[in-house]
Chains A and B, each alone.
Chain A
Amino acid sequence: DAGVTQSPTHLIKTRGQHVTLRCSPISGHKSVSWYQQVLGQGPQFIFQYYEKEERGRGNFPDRFSARQFPNYSSELNVNALLLGDSALYLCASSPEGTAAYNEQFFGPGTRLTVL
């Protein structure tokens, strides 16, 4: 079975640009979460989506937005990129969005570099 897939693998942008990152969850999983992992730190929660609705949001500015499509894939958008947005962006899928005990399965991530 295919795991969580993310595209692109790597991306280089300049300050002020916009970026779109994509994620396809494990087949049958309806929930997708996005995380930002800065080098040397643990992943930081950005968003969770379940059945196309936002179910959680972390402490990130409005420049960060996301959406989930009917096939449960998801996009993360970041506007007006800053140098500090350089990080590994991780997508995780889980089978349910409302259960208390959700195992999350992570994709390989998209490495974003902002110059």
Chain B
Amino acid sequence: GENVEQHPSTLSVQEGDSAVIKCTYSDSASNYFPWYKQELGKGPQLIIDIRSNVGEKKDQRIAVTLNKTAKHFSLHITETQPEDSAVYFCAAKGYQKVTFGIGTKLQVIP
């Protein structure tokens, strides 16, 4: 089955700096890669996603890149703000099933 590895597990950045979270996946059949933000006591919220036929996607301060050959994908957050502090999950989806990474706890220090 699919295996998704995510790192780092924790990340502290100063407000205004950039944050990068990296994931790898094992199943070459995976074709959809969403990223979720989970705040304390809430369910995961989709923040950006990328499909396997696209190498990069950007939405304001958030960008995601995908390297299908290396089976790597990354989340980039620029100009971080205190409200970006949360746990971020990467995920990979093949046919029907979504496999999540272990999560990265991001702390943005004001």
Interface residues of A, Cβ cutoff 8 Å to B: 4, 33, 40-45, 48, 55-56, 58-59, 90, 92, 97, 100-109
- Tell me if A's interface is mostly helix, strand, loop or mixed: loop
Residues of B contacting A41 in the complex (Cβ-Cβ under 8 angstroms): 102-103
**Shortest distance between the CB of A97 and any CB in chain B (Å):** 8
Are B43 and A45 in contact, CB atoms less than 8 angstroms apart?
no
The A/B interface has a contact count, at CB < 8 Å, of 56
Contact A102 B102 (CB under 8 A): no
Q: Does B81 contact A (CB under 8 A)?
A: no
B103: A residues at CB distance < 8 A: 40-42
Contact of B31 with A103 in the complex, beta carbons under 8 Å: no
* Number of chain B residues whose Cβ lies closer than 8 Å to a Cβ of chain A: 27
Per DSSP, chain B at the interface is strand
Asked if B43 and A109 sit within 8 Å, CB to CB, the answer is yes
| Chain A nearest Cβ from B86, distance in angstroms | 14
B14-22, B59-67, B72-80, B93-101: which one contacts chain A? Answer: B93-101
